[in-house]
Amino acid sequence: MTGSHRPIRTRPEGCPAPPSRMYDTALLDLDGVVYAGGEAVVHAVESLAAAREAGMRLAYVTNNAARTPLTVAGHLTRLGVPAEPEEVVTSAQAVARMIAEELPAGSRVLCVGGEGLRVALRERGLEPVESADDAPAAVVQGYGGPEMPWGRLAEAAIAVGRGLPWFASNGDLTIPSGRGIAPGNGAAVEVVRIATRWMRPAPEPRTAGKPLPPMHRETILRTGAERPLVVGDRLDTDIEGAYAGGVDSLLVLTGVTDAAQLLAAPPEHRPTYVAADLRALHREQPEVEELRDGGRSGFLCGGWAASAEGGVLRLEGRGDDPLDGLRALCAAAWTHAGEGVCDLPGVDEVRAVLGL
């Protein structure tokens, strides 16, 4: 099933049992979900252990192409989340498969990225090279870390300017870090795009990472998941990728997405479930109920009542969990927006009430 055939989501769904018992595999994003700035996100270690103990398989799916699965698994294990390299799926692996399906084995590829991208290319029988003058048959860009030299981008621009096929592991403009939001691979891709805009037609990279189908395909091929749950912190990669793949999703608010962005989400960015953090994997998700009381309409969740009456988002009541208030608000905002986005005033006011 593709996203274009999915019904419009107008509210987060309830879940009568913990997701760890409803889904066979959690497809977990890393940055902003499991760790941030190299350190474990609060509640992540114990929550993942509880999910695994309940019988849920864990797979770590990341758009970050800089590190190898072996390195990522080692990092997770040191954080207290035991992981094997086979449980890690990267956008480097997805883009390497794309390239290998188009080029003969042994083809040279100008690799502008980190070790994770070079290893993924070699695993597909391709030879990474460093210069546009090394006779490459294609160009691929992946996140290379904050130390990536400017000259690497120059090599990519020169090669793309010569008409070579252009690939990118992912298009994320930003990535979360322990110190704030930093430029991602998409920002580096933009540099090459600007440097080659003189070409007609202007070149455009073929991209593999979330939310695009090649990444979902790579994940399913490597995990064998039959009832997967995508878990992420970004609407435009994790949640949209789940929507495009026709699978359910859980948004956790430990990364880049805030309440205002969630309330304004278009259909492809609306998660199945919303939660504060990974503890949601072993907790039931509350139901959002529609309220119809005389001339009033709205949505109820956990003691909170939300509506979009009078052209303003409103939140009333007082529940034990502010996330229940956010879930009710999502239902009101998304129902009002339909296939569009909610731009009603009142978001700042209700965020203050919820403390989000």
Q: How far apart are CA 308 and CA 314, in angstroms?
A: 6
Based on the residue annotation, tell me whether 320 is a catalytic residue of this protein. Answer: no
**Collapsing DSSP states into helix, strand and coil, what is residue 179?**
coil
Query: How far is CA 123 from each of CA 75, 84, 98, 149, 298, rounded to the nearest angstrom?
Result: 21, 17, 13, 25, 54
Which H/E stretch holds residue 182? strand 180-183
The residue from 31, 236, 248, 324 that is catalytic is: 31
Strand pairing category for 304-307 and 296-301: antiparallel
First CA to last CA distance, the chain = 34
- The question of whether 29 is a catalytic residue gets the answer yes
DSSP annotation string for 45-79: HHHHHHHHHTT-EEEEEES--SS-HHHHHHHHHHH
- Of 24, 29, 343, 348, catalytic: 29
Rounded to the nearest 10 degrees, what angle do helices 91-100 and 115-123 cross at?
40
Contact 237, 211 (CB under 8 A): yes
For residue 352, the surrounding DSSP H or E stretch is helix 347-354
How far is Cα 212 from Cα 243, in angstroms, rounded to an integer? 10
Enter the tokens of residue 144. 């290379």
DSSP string, 295-319: TEEEEEETTEEEE-GGGS-EEEE--
Q: Does residue 235 contact residue 251 with C-beta atoms inside 8 Å?
A: yes
Give the residue numbers annotated as catalytic, written as ranges.
Answer: 29, 31
